[in-house]
Amino acid sequence: MALDFIREIVEDDLRSGRVAAVVTRFPPEPNGYLHIGHAKAICLDFGIALEYGGRCNLRFDDTNPVKEDIEYTRAIENDVRWLGFDWDDREYHASDYFEQLYRWGESLIERGLAFVDSCNADEIREMRGTLTEPGQESPHRNRSVEENLDLFRRMRAGEFPDGAHVLRAKIDMASPNINMRDPVLYRIRHGAHHRTGEAWSIYPMYDYAHPLSDAIEGITHSLCTLEYADHRPLYDWLVENCPVPARPRQYEFARLNLSYTVMSKRKLLRLVEEGHVRGWDDPRMPTIAGLRRRGMTPAAIRDFADRVGVAKRENMIDVALLEHCVRDDLNRTAPRVMGVLHPLRVVIENFAEGETEWFDTPNNPEDEGMGTRRVPFSREIYIERDDFMEEPPKKFFRLSPGREVRLRSAYFLTCTGVVKNDAGEIVELRATIDPTTRGGDAPDGRRPKATLHWVSAQHAIDCEVRLYDRLFKSENPEESGDFLADLNPESLQVITHAKLEPSVRDAAPMTKVQFERLGYFCVDPDSSGEAMVFNRTVTLKDTKKF
38 touching ligand ATP, by CB under 6 A: yes
What minimum distance in Å lies between the beta carbon of 297 and ligand ATP?
Answer: 20
Q: Does 28 bind ligand ATP (CB under 6 A)?
A: yes
Smallest separation (angstroms) from ligand ATP to the CB of 476: 14
Q: List CB contacts of 455: < 8 A, sequence separation 6 or more.
A: 338, 339, 340, 343, 381, 382, 499, 500, 501
Closer Cβ to ligand ATP, 32 or 343, answer by number = 32
Residue 265 known to be catalytic: yes
Collapse the DSSP code of 40 into the 3-class scheme (helix H, G, I; strand E, B; otherwise coil) and give the result.
helix
Q: Which is nearer to ligand ATP, 37 or 295 (CB)?
A: 37
CB of 264 to ligand ATP, least distance (A): 5
Answer whether 176's CB lies under 8 Å from 220's CB.
no
Q: Name the catalytic one among 67, 90, 247, 255.
A: 255
Per residue, the 3-state secondary structure of 142-205, as one string, reads CCCHHHHHHHHHHHHCCCCCCCCCEEEECCCCCCCCHHHCCCEEEEECCCCECCCECCCCEEEC
DSSP string, 210-221: HHHHHHHHT-SE
Considering only the stretches 38-46, 135-143, 156-164, 489-497, report the one whose residues sit in contact with ligand ATP under the rule CB under 6 A.
Answer: 38-46
Nearer to ligand ATP, 246 or 254 (CB): 254
CB 256 within 8 A of CB 36: yes
Q: Which of the ranges 23-31, 48-56, 425-433, 520-528 carries the binding residues for ligand ATP, by CB under 6 A?
A: 23-31
Largest separation between any pair of C-alpha atoms in the chain? 101
User: Which residues are paired to 512 by β-bridges?
Assistant: 522
Q: Which residues inside 242-301 make contact with ligand ATP, applying CB under 6 A?
A: 255-256, 263-266
Check residue 25 for interaction with ligand ATP (CB under 6 A): no
Residue number, 256 or 340, with CB nearest to ligand ATP? 256
* Active-site position among 59, 170, 195, 265: 265
CB of 26 to ligand ATP, least distance (A): 6
Q: Which helix (H) or strand (E) holds 357?
A: strand 357-362
- Separation in Å, CA 49 to CA 14, 212, 248, 363, 508: 12, 20, 15, 38, 34
Closer by beta carbon to ligand ATP, 239 or else 258:
258
State the minimum distance, in angstroms, from the CB of residue 72 to ligand ATP.
Answer: 9
3-state SS track over 405-445:
EEECCCCEEEEEEEEECCCCCEEEEEEEEEHHHCCCCCCCC
Nearer to ligand ATP, 41 or 289 (CB): 41
Nearer to ligand ATP, 32 or 54 (CB): 32
Contacts of 439 (CB under 8 A, 6+ apart): 359, 409, 410
What is the distance between the alpha carbons of residues 296 and 317, in angstroms, rounded to a whole number?
18
Query: Using CB atoms, what's the residue nearest to ligand ATP?
Result: 37
Query: CB of residue 194 vs ligand ATP: minimum separation in angstroms?
Result: 15
Output Rg (C-alpha) for the chain, integer angstroms: 31
Considering the complex, state which of residue 19 and residue 80 has its C-beta at the smaller distance from ligand ATP. 80
Among 23, 24, 33, 40, binds ligand ATP (CB under 6 A): 40
Binding of residue 29 to ligand ATP (CB under 6 A): yes
Q: What is the C-alpha separation between 234 and 169, in angstroms, rounded?
A: 10
Segment near ligand ATP (CB under 6 A), from 37-45, 100-108, 360-368, 470-478?
A: 37-45
Q: Note the Cα 43 to chain centre separation in Å.
A: 12
Within residues 60-89, the interface with ligand ATP by CB under 6 A covers none
Return d(Cα 164, Cα 154) in angstroms, integer: 11
Number of residues in contact with ligand ATP under rule CB under 6 A: 15
Neighbouring C-beta atoms of residue 335, cutoff 10 Å? 19
Q: Does 226 bind ligand ATP (CB under 6 A)?
A: no
Contacts (CB under 6 A) with ligand ATP, residues 196-225: 224-225
Which one of 10, 19, 23, 41 is in contact with ligand ATP (CB under 6 A)?
41
Does residue 408 carry a catalytic annotation? no
Residue from 10, 23, 27, 409 in contact with ligand ATP (CB under 6 A): 27
Question: Which residue stretch of 25-33, 47-55, 176-184, 312-320 sits at the interface with ligand ATP (rule: CB under 6 A)?
Answer: 25-33
Backbone φ and ψ for 423, nearest 5 degrees, come out as -80, 0
Residue 49 contacts ligand ATP per CB under 6 A: no
Question: Which CB atom, from 206 or from 396, has the smaller least distance to ligand ATP?
Answer: 206
Q: Which of 29, 91, 147, 357 is catalytic?
A: 29
Q: Within 10 A of 445 (CB to CB), how many other CB atoms are there?
A: 6
Q: Any idea which residues carry the catalytic annotation?
A: 29, 255, 265
User: Which residues lie near ligand ATP (CB under 6 A)?
Assistant: 27-29, 37-38, 40-41, 224-225, 255-256, 263-266
